[in-house]
Structure 1
């Protein structure tokens, strides 16, 4: 079935840094980086381990998550709101007891959602800088973090807590670091996401994850690599960065079909969002919409 034509520019628009950063091939590396980092939050580790989605269906689980982030960044307002509400409903069922602290976890917990959101937007930008065009201009940098705050309105995060600059991102990491930890289940999840095992229906995601892993690890600080048990030699870091840049340049040549082909092999739902974005013309309403307005227009009415 053909996707519904997009009606507007969503939340950010054609000149936004969010569109450039999230549609770059470097977003795949940033996404792998962010889902690995999720596991430093013990409550998210418990949610992932208890549901076991990444082990039963790694391709589907990762594809749906990346498609969600890309939809919020580049799709129209209706698609973004519908994706957000579906995710919130799915997460509402994910609760349990975190075994390290003995406290109850919820996938929709605002603090855990903030960790997912910040690591996602920061990781995608970090990999864009390292393997893509390089740092944003000062003006685009400010705008990118403002867009990060806007996107957070679709999650359960408290928008007042979302960092609004790189300095605030650093302060956020410093603030949460004492609460981060690792465990046997966290190690298993992180290593699985870096180098997903092959098998029936997993060969594509296995090959892609293993090719990306050294480049992803090279962007992480040493303390995270040691805590996660996936450190690699500094020499490999130095070798993989120029190789990664060459690979990204190859994927961005021409009409973008090489990147779409890679997405189709590994994350088909994400490819559909990226392809619709790449082929979009002028929408019927060539304007941006705020999340608050989009929720009023397209959100589901609360149950009575």
Structure 2
């Protein structure tokens, strides 16, 4: 474990560290976000086109959770570097929509806004339902302001991020008519609900307990999804299970959170790359420099472009390969990302 270079973009007194540092975030919160995201046709087309969630479920989970944890907790230089390379990773996820015509691009600002708001909303929802409970009004305003800060590391505009719960609800209401439970969306959602696929290899005597835990997380995630969404996607779970899973998960997460060592040990089994990001924070290891920067300050200091303006030539070459030459896109971004986001296998 090494200390972070600085406090990043939020710091120890922030509501971001409070919510994203609770064990609901990398479990139910994250699973809910990636499952709900698949209802967006361009996004699920990108997911289906790359096949990453099917071919390398564990490393895909590990790398994605690590990225979101880095934005919340890591030093500013690390976050800028990760956001920059992620643009190149996403440049690979382009192609033609399998239903209805048109094209998709994982770097599209609308898709990135959908990912950002679904992720931050899901993490907060899981925290409120299975964690300590609702935030105060002041904390909630600060949370959505922080979401806009984090959006600066996506290709979307932070100006499009709602700053209130009502604004977030209005965004999802606007998105609802555009959502679709296509065959590939249903396939992806069911696959992503199989929590056991991201568990590490383990002795046979541990497998029954791990499977029970995986099924509990799945039930907890489904219990956070509105009924209309479950019906659209063909996901069923009784109201009784919805009710019974709440006290079970609240107790389990509260117990895990009592001990930083226990919580980190569990996280290391689930997402090794993420554990190294969160460990200094949970164990109280101070950074080398006790400062918090804005994204603009960090970009100026380290020389990175805004994600929306980054690697435009590379992205154009990728588009020409796929749409013009009908070839597979370059893997360069994925290869480069391993140094920052962790191995692909």
User: 1:42 Cα shift?
Assistant: 0.7
CA-to-aligned-CA distance 1:251-287 (integer Å, 9 cap, x gap): 1113x12221211112111111111322343333312
2:243 is aligned to 238
User: CA, structure 1 residues 57+215, in 2 after alignment: closer, same or farther (shift >3 Å)?
Assistant: same
Structure with the greater alpha carbon radius of gyration: 2
Moved more, 191-200 or 75-84: 191-200
Alignment of 1:206-225 (within 5 A): 207=211, 209-225=214-230
User: 1:211 Cα shift?
Assistant: 3.0
User: 1:7 Cα shift?
Assistant: 2.2
State the alpha-carbon separation in 2 of the partners of residues 84 and 249 from structure 1.
32
Are the counterparts in 2 of residues 21 and 128 from structure 1 also a CA contact under 8 Å? yes
User: 1:49 Cα shift?
Assistant: 0.8
Alignment of 1:184-203 (within 5 A): 184-196=183-195
Alignment RMSD:
2.0
Moved more, 220-229 or 116-125: 220-229
Of 3, 7, 10, which aligns to 2:8? 10
TM-score by length of 2: 0.82
User: CA, structure 1 residues 230+148, in 2 after alignment: closer, same or farther (shift >3 Å)?
Assistant: same
1:136 is aligned to 135
1:291 is aligned to 295
Which secondary structure state, in structure 1, belongs to the residue aligned with residue 38 of structure 2? helix
Are the counterparts in 1 of residues 107 and 155 from structure 2 also a CA contact under 8 Å? yes
CA-to-aligned-CA distance 1:219-270 (integer Å, 9 cap, x gap): 111111111211210000110001110111111113x122212111121111
User: 1:138 Cα shift?
Assistant: 1.0
2:18 is aligned to 20
Which secondary structure state, in structure 2, belongs to the residue aligned with residue 105 of structure 1? strand
User: CA, structure 1 residues 66+142, in 2 after alignment: closer, same or farther (shift >3 Å)?
Assistant: same
State the alpha-carbon separation in 2 of the partners of residues 286 and 18 from structure 1.
17
Moved more, 123-132 or 228-237: 228-237
User: CA, structure 1 residues 11+136, in 2 after alignment: closer, same or farther (shift >3 Å)?
Assistant: same
Alignment of 1:26-175 (within 5 A): 26-27=24-25, 28-175=27-174
State the alpha-carbon separation in 1 of the partners of residues 302 and 281 from structure 2.
20
State the alpha-carbon separation in 2 of the partners of residues 288 and 202 from structure 1.
38
CA-to-aligned-CA distance 1:73-93 (integer Å, 9 cap, x gap): 111111111111111110012
> How many matched pairs?
300
User: CA, structure 1 residues 202+170, in 2 after alignment: closer, same or farther (shift >3 Å)?
Assistant: farther
State the alpha-carbon separation in 1 of the partners of residues 284 and 258 from structure 2.
19
CA-to-aligned-CA distance 1:29-75 (integer Å, 9 cap, x gap): 10000000110111111111111101111111111111111110111
Q: Return 5+ residue gaps in structure 1 as ranges.
A: none
State the alpha-carbon separation in 1 of the partners of residues 122 and 61 from structure 2.
16
